[in-house]
Amino acid sequence: MKVFIDPPNSLILYDLVERFGHEPLGAMASIQERIDNIELDLPPMNVTLDDVVKGLKYAGVEVPSGIRGRLALWGPLIDQADAALIMLDPPFNFGCVGCERSNEMVRYLIRRRGIPALSVAYPGNEAEAKVSVGRIKEFLEGLK
Amino acid sequence: MSDERETRLFMISPVSNVTPDQLVRAIHAMGKGVKVKETCYGCLAEGLVADVKEVTGEIRGRYPYDVFSKRRAYPAGDPRRCRAEHGTRPGYAQLEAEWESLPLIACGLESCDRGETHEIPPEPEKLSVEDFKKITEAAR
């Protein structure tokens, strides 16, 4: 099954989804498609004007273009996902995945689609890690 | 989707005794014909999708708790991202933060493999409007 991961470029979630036998849907494949198929020499390298227009399907015109640009990449992935795995409040939620409004919108789109989704807290110690990984394993093994 | 090329990022856990050199040699020794680039955190492997998947499976089998991997969008050594070419590295803050957490994830995986069960903590209840009113009025 195709499992959307949030944050969409997370190494940990990508690895865990693959490890437990599913296909992770992360931002990397979408970005690679743009890198391989479009000549991009200057920044912004990942998002074009067309992407921002495509993002209108997922967010209104009054929404900042940065959010629409992100959703142009992530929205189609959510559309084709069979399930979703969300890690809440990771400490690395800054930089290119640090837009909280985009993240809220992603979680809303996942809920609106009604696909099975698991939200787990980011582990801060070993006990929490055992619970989080255990829940992820149980969720992914239960998907059929 | 781009199905011909896959670039895979292999990251070694900070508590592991595996070195990037060992990892690169292990991938070369598989003889799958993938291009490998040694990095400070592990290595990048690039090749046809099927070959890279085989390499990933073998590495995961050999180092289940030491090496974690994900797909990478840019090719290995791409001048827009390569440090030697003064490329920008926007995702590295996140990669570093995740690298620090890998021992915790490995600990969780080991626990699952031992068959340990864990109680799921109850979700915190939402604050009721009445309680919220009491809190705000108490501060007056």
User: Is pLDDT of A82 > 90?
Assistant: yes
Domain CATH code at residue A34: 3.40.50
Instruction: Establish if B11 touches chain A: CB-CB under 8 angstroms.
Output: yes
Looking at residue A38, what is its pLDDT?
A: 67
Interface of A with B (CB under 8 A): 7, 9-12, 14-16, 18-19, 26-29, 31-33, 35-37, 43, 45, 90-92, 94-97, 122-123, 125-126, 128-135, 137
Q: Can you give the residue ranges of every domain in chain B? A: 5-113
Looking at residue B103, what is its pLDDT?
A: 95
Nearest residue to A23 via CA among A3, A48, A6, A9 = A3
Q: What pLDDT digit, counting tens, does each position of B12-24 carry?
A: 999 999 999 999 9
A14 vs B70: CB contact, 8 Å cut-off? yes
Distance in angstroms between the alpha carbons of the first and the last residue of chain A? 7
**Are residues A109 and A75 in contact, defined by beta-carbon separation less than 8 angstroms?**
yes
**Which residues in chain B touch residue A27, judged by CB atoms under 8 angstroms apart?**
73
User: Is pLDDT of A44 > 90?
Assistant: no
- Rounded to an integer, what distance in angstroms lies between the CA atom of residue A99 and that of residue A83? 22
Shortest CA gap B92–chain A (Å)? 9
Q: Which residue would you say has higher pLDDT here, A36 or B99?
A: B99
Helix or strand or coil: residue B37?
strand
Please list the residues that pair with A117 across neighbouring strands. A84
Q: What pLDDT digit, counting tens, does each position of B50-68 carry?
A: 999 999 999 999 999 999 9
Looking at residue A73, what is its pLDDT?
A: 86
A130 vs B111: CB contact, 8 Å cut-off? yes
pLDDT tier at A115, thresholds 50, 70, 90: very high
pTM of the model: 0.87
B60 vs A19: CB contact, 8 Å cut-off? yes
**ipTM for this model:** 0.86
> pLDDT exceeding 90 applies to what percent of chain A?
41
CATH class of B5-113: alpha beta
Q: Which residue has the tokens 């827009």?
A: B80
Looking at residue B1, what is its pLDDT?
A: 47
Domain count, chain A: 1
**Which residues in chain A touch residue B75, judged by CB atoms under 8 angstroms apart?**
35
Nearest residue to A117 via CA among A90, A81, A77 = A81
User: Is pLDDT of A78 > 60?
Assistant: yes
The domain of A88 spans 2-142
Mean per-residue pLDDT pooled into runs of 10, chain B (140 residues): 80 94 94 91 93 94 94 84 72 83 94 85 85 87
